[in-house]
């Protein structure tokens, strides 16, 4: 597989991470280097790792995963998005640091949800007998870079618009929309 094809795959896989990062940036409003690094590192690591796991699973696991991977991704994104909307509308006393999508359970859930497709791509690499190490490395780097850019862009958009609570609702709706798009891409509707 040539480098251009690998880059195209990496960009396609990173689109979800980029969109989630924008939503996280809008939600946070003020993003530190540490938060940017955490989100970019985790999204990049999970994209690369899931790609390797998919490749390692090969043909034996493929039929099991293909049937429900889109539902897992949708469920995780809808759960986090719905929780963001709930917090924006009803949990006004909660500290902002507790809502930080670059920490804790939310970080892991978002990392898994945005990397489910990388698992499927890894499976296809196994079927095509393509060595996974270089593609996984490139996929991880591209996801990390686009995540960092998306987080900063979301922060800029959120700060410029001063939408506050509405921005958090919009971020939650974006996550749910991404999950719905995954279902649409898999022909569920």
pLDDT per residue as tens digits for the range 61-120:
666 766 777 787 788 678 777 877 887 788 654 444 456 788 888 899 889 988 888 887
Stated pTM of the model:
0.73
Closest CA to 86 of 173, 182, 18, 155: 173
In the chain, the number of structural domains is 1
11-38 per-position pLDDT tens digit: 888 888 888 888 888 878 788 899 999 9
DSSP 83-121: HHHHHHHH-TTS-GGGG-TTSHHHHHHHHHHTTHHHHHH
Tell me the residue range of the domain where 100 lies: 3-28+37-185
């Amino acid at each position: 597989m040539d480098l251009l094809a690998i880059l195209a795959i990496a960009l396609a896989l990173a689109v979800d991470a980029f969109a989630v990062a924008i939503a996280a940036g809008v939600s946070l409003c003020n993003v530190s280097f540490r938060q940017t690094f955490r989100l970019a590192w985790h999204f990049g690591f999970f994209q690369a790792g899931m790609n390797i796991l998919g490749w390692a699973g090969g043909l034996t696991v493929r039929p099991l995963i293909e049937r429900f991977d889109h539902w897992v991704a949708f469920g995780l994104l809808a759960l986090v998005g719905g929780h963001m909307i709930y917090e924006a509308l009803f949990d006004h006393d909660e500290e902002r640091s507790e809502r930080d999508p670059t920490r804790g359970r939310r970080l892991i859930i978002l990392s898994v949800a945005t990397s489910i497709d990388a698992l499927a791509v890894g499976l296809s690499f196994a079927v095509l007998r393509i060595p996974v190490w270089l593609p996984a490395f490139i996929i991880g780097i591209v996801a990390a870079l686009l995540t960092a850019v998306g987080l900063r862009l979301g922060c800029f958009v959120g700060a410029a618009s001063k939408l506050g609570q509405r921005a958090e609702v919009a971020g939650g709706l974006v996550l749910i929309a991404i999950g719905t798009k995954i279902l649409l891409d898999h022909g569920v509707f």
